[in-house]
Amino acid sequence: MKRHLISAADLSRADALLILDTAEELASLADRPIKKLPTLRGRTVVNLFYEDSTRTRISFEAAAKRLSADVINFSAKGSSVAKGESLKDTALTLEAMGADAVVIRHGASGAAHRLAGWVRGSVLNAGDGTHEHPTQALLDAFTIRRRLKGAGPAGPAAATPGARGAALDGLRVTIVGDVLHSRVARSNVLLLSTLGAEVTLAAPPTLLPLAVGSWPCAVSYDLDSELPKSDVVMMLRVQQERMNAAYFPSVREYSRRYGLDAARMARLPEHAIVMHPGPMNRGVEIAAEVADSVRSTIVEQVANGVTTRMAVLYLLLGGTEFPATDNAAGVTR
């Protein structure tokens, strides 16, 4: 793997499968009395968050602590950033403190890339503007693989869910909603296509980027026509906080055309799953009965986020082979 994880495009198919396989090994820790590994003992991971976050920040913190790393949480609010300190000066401060890895979330696209040029440690992009969010794509791929390993248009295969080494070849994934402002959508299109999935974006024309024609995916304006042939439906939140114009007539109209309710879910194949990166706008892009159904993986995605980010941190900072561990204590043999 490369030293940084800025974009899903940084990952080859082999890199992505290595992360997913490592995450599969790490997932076994969740059932052990002691969930920590000593792998990153003595390493320092800084969570540098310029935007509000719940799932991603806590997930990265939990992942680093389970690998025994020291964690420093940096929030722009209440820091020198509020006094006008630049990203570069903050980066130099972290460098002086000996940060081995910096996890950054920033409102400006390209911030993670700039940071990588200023620090010697590894930089992990936890979301930059409307650009990318690669670890979200990885945890989504991990969740899909655990639920639908070997599935395709004919339905799930008999293989054991979560078995190592499997890609997502032949799976049909439909990503629905506000693609224009979604860093999750960009990263998922890149990663899922690398892993062999067939990705379709379903959204109104006003919520699609101008350059979407160069993306490795298909585009549809009709959600209803895509549902019967989808193995995975990934709903995106309408990011009204990033909108500076009227992209659709009304929330009610958007929900009627692109919201996933029980009636639409009934059109999916029996094995199909419903995903959402969170936070959700219940009643807008997804109905409550769909979000809470057994076909929803939303809670699983949160749990899998810790495991997947542990794998990324381990591979960037610890090594390229997963250590064998004692079944009871999680101690490296």
Average pLDDT over residues 306-327: 75
Q: Per-residue pLDDT tens for 277-291?
A: 988 889 889 999 999
Q: Per-residue pLDDT tens for 45-54?
A: 999 999 888 8
81, exposed or middle or buried, with CB in 10 Å at 0-12, 13-18, 19+?
A: middle
- The predicted model scores a pTM of 0.89
The rounded distance, in Å, linking the Cα atoms of 144 and 99 is 33
Task: Report residue 161 as tokens.
Answer: 């869910």
The rounded distance, in Å, linking the Cα atoms of 56 and 132 is 13
Mean pLDDT computed over every residue of the chain: 86
Task: Report residue 166 as tokens.
Answer: 């499997």
Instruction: Note the pLDDT of residue 283.
Output: 87
The rounded distance, in Å, linking the Cα atoms of 164 and 24 is 7
Instruction: Note the pLDDT of residue 328.
Output: 37
* Res. 163 pLDDT band, cuts 50 70 90: low
